[in-house]
Amino acid sequence: MEHDRIIVIGASAGGLDAIKKLVERLPPDFRTPIFIVWHMAPGMRGIVPDILNKLNAIYAAHALDNEVIKPNRIYIAPPDHHLLLEEGIIRLSRGPKENHFRPAVDPLFRSAAYNYGNRVIGIVLSGRLDDGTAGLWRIKHSGGIAIVQDPDDAEVPSMPANAAREVAVDYCIPVKDMAAVLTQLSTTAVPLNREHMKDEKTKIEIGIAAGDSAYDRGSLKIGELSPYTCPECQGVLSKITDGDLTRYRCHTGHAYSVDTLLASITEKIEGSLYNAMAAIEESMMLLNHIGDHLSEVNHPQLAALYFKKAKDAELRADLLRDTVMGHEQLSNDRLLEELYKLKNAAKE
């Protein structure tokens, strides 16, 4: 069954309240199907449908694999599953995580754009970092409509702010105004565009999200090899370019925006430093233990050498500890905040 439009929504931290405000303002006879990805932990109980069904007569439920899309429905990505769209059909998968999430926003947006072209309305709500930006770019590039929550209206502004910066959005508005806009857009006829760009790169990435072998699908062919490795599996990352937007995908399928990759790498540094510090402290303890034993068996000169090496190790461990304490996890938001503080300081 075909519908004039579909609506895809992505949200993360602070996004549930935004979703609630949007849904409760929609008319109960709103026919356009809505598909929602909200970042959640894999073991989290899926509470979103129950919450939304108390706010509106539009029926909300977790999406089912191979479910036929119906009007006047809200479909929620279940925990630990990507939500993908085919023409008139829903698909679920446990394909590789994107931006550390499953479900992730980009796979939903990407599959919607590929199969529905200019009939897609994409919305990015409150959340950290920038999942959804690449997918919203694809929706816009395929002739669809791009909407972001006004960052000043968002509990966590990063996701909508990043999307607004990278995509020529059609609307940047508070959540309270979205229902009216969606109602108007949904009642406006859209000429079906069967000629929208169904490019091979997007097809490959949809297949990867669906659980196909990323390597067999051609993950190494959709970008140029980079010097970076995947924070999750240490696979080689390929650099993928969409217009002015850059992102990365490894040969096993994990995908990252630039901002998520930066946050992941700088977070990984802290763990590596602690591992190195633990190894040095372990060697220090062993050197002292051996030194004690040598002292007991009357080898004072050799024992003194072991104690000296233990002291050297302790000094190196102290240097690493100072490095760990001074290390910071970086992201675009943190750097923008630092730049803002520098500009304010320069004005004073």
| Residue pair 190/143 in contact by the 8 Å Cβ criterion | no
**pLDDT tens readout for residues 314-334:** 999 999 999 988 888 777 777
List C-alpha distances in Å: 69 to 86, 87, 90, 179: 10, 9, 7, 21
pLDDT of residue 1: 39
pLDDT at 2 over 60: no
**pLDDT tens readout for residues 105-144:** 999 999 999 999 999 999 999 999 899 999 999 999 999 9
Query: What span, in angstroms and rounded, lies between the C-alpha atoms of 50 and 93?
Result: 22
Pairing of the two strands 59-62 and 73-76: parallel
Active site residue 3: no
List C-alpha distances in Å: 299 to 134, 220, 293, 295: 67, 60, 9, 5
Active site residue 131: yes
**Residue closest to 116 by CA, chosen among 11, 242, 4:** 4
List C-alpha distances in Å: 301 to 58, 259, 296: 83, 54, 12
pLDDT at 228 over 80: yes
Query: What span, in angstroms and rounded, lies between the C-alpha atoms of 97 and 118?
Result: 27
pLDDT at 343 over 80: no
Q: If you ran DSSP here, which 8-state letter would residue 194 be given?
A: T
Element spanning 59, H or E: strand 59-62
User: With bands split at pLDDT 50, 70 and 90, how would you rate the model's confidence at 195?
Assistant: low
pLDDT of residue 211: 92
| Residue pair 309/318 in contact by the 8 Å Cβ criterion | no
Active site residue 272: no
The tokens for 232 are 């999750």
User: With bands split at pLDDT 50, 70 and 90, how would you rate the model's confidence at 284?
Assistant: very high
pLDDT at 89 over 90: yes
Of 17-31, 143-157, 221-235, the poorest mean pLDDT is in: 221-235
- Which amino acid is located at 138 in the chain? R
Distance of CA 102 to the CA centre of its chain: 9
Mean pLDDT of the chain: 92
pLDDT at 71 over 50: yes
Query: What span, in angstroms and rounded, lies between the C-alpha atoms of 251 and 229?
Result: 10
Catalytic residue among 82, 111, 126, 131: 131
- 201-231 in b/e form (b: 16+ CB < 10 A) is bbbbbbbbbbbbebeebbbbebbeeeeeebb
Cβ-proximal residues to 182 (8 Å cutoff; 6+ apart), any chain:
7, 26, 30, 32, 121
The tokens for 249 are 């995908």
Cβ-proximal residues to 255 (8 Å cutoff; 6+ apart), any chain:
96, 97, 98, 99, 104, 106, 205, 208, 247, 248, 249
pLDDT at 182 over 90: yes
Q: Phi and psi at residue 102, in whole multiples of 5°? A: -150, 105
User: For the whole model, what pTM was predicted?
Assistant: 0.86
Q: What percent of the chain has pLDDT over 70?
A: 97
**Residue closest to 11 by CA, chosen among 2, 23, 3, 1:** 23
Catalytic residue among 12, 142, 257, 264: 12
Q: 193 versus 263: which is more confidently predicted?
A: 263
- Which amino acid is located at 88 in the chain? G
Half-sphere exposure of 56 (CA within 13 A, CB side): 24
